[in-house]
Amino acid sequence: MLKIKIIKDGPLCFDGTFTYRDDGEVSSKFDGASLTLCRCGNTSRTPFCDQSHNSFSFIADDHLNVEYKVSNQNAVSLDDSIFVKAIKGGPLYIAGPVSIVDEGGASWEGNRVKLCRCGYSQIKPFCDGAHKNMVPVGENP
Ligand code: FES
């Protein structure tokens, strides 16, 4: 299972074994790795956090208690592996068993999720589609 810890008003910390595919369709395998991924939309090292969230007032009012489901849109064939894909101009799409916890102890578990990385979702850490009306990920001022 991929474990994701939410840092309050900061990045997402991924811990597990998974395949990551960037929005240029380049895949990398992370084996038991811990990665800190941006969700404010301002990093210059996409997908990784570069502490840019500290340079402005990134406030993430997280909503792990909402009922959140994604359709099979962007579905990938699954074996036992966990697949993380950066959707161009949009969220991180994750297929495979994942658990998310915040610093307050709230949690969410599931097998498919889209996590906001533009910083504009009203139901962070989940994507609510707000990126469609915003500056593309990685190009925020
Ligand atoms: S990536 Fe932020 S709302 Fe979709």
User: pTM here?
Assistant: 0.88
70 pLDDT higher than 90: no
Q: Report the number of distinct structural domains present in the chain.
A: 1
Query: Does 23 contact ligand 1 (Cβ within 6 A)?
Result: no
Residue 30 lies in a domain: yes
Domain that holds residue 115: 2-133
Residue 76 lies in a domain: yes
d(CA 124, CA 80): 27
Query: Does 2 contact ligand 1 (Cβ within 6 A)?
Result: no
Query: pLDDT tens digits, residue range 92-101?
Result: 999 999 999 9
Query: pLDDT tens digits, residue range 43-53?
Result: 999 889 999 99
Residue 139 lies in a domain: no
- Average pLDDT score over residue span 52-72: 87
Query: pLDDT tens digits, residue range 76-85?
Result: 555 568 999 9
Query: Does 130 contact ligand 1 (Cβ within 6 A)?
Result: yes
Residue 141 lies in a domain: no
Residue 128 lies in a domain: yes
Return the best residue to mutate from 113, 115, 131 for the ligand 1 pocket (most ligand atoms within 8 A of CB).
131
DSSP 9-46: TS-EEEEEEEEEE-TTS-EEEEEEEEEEE--SS--SBT
Residue 138 lies in a domain: no
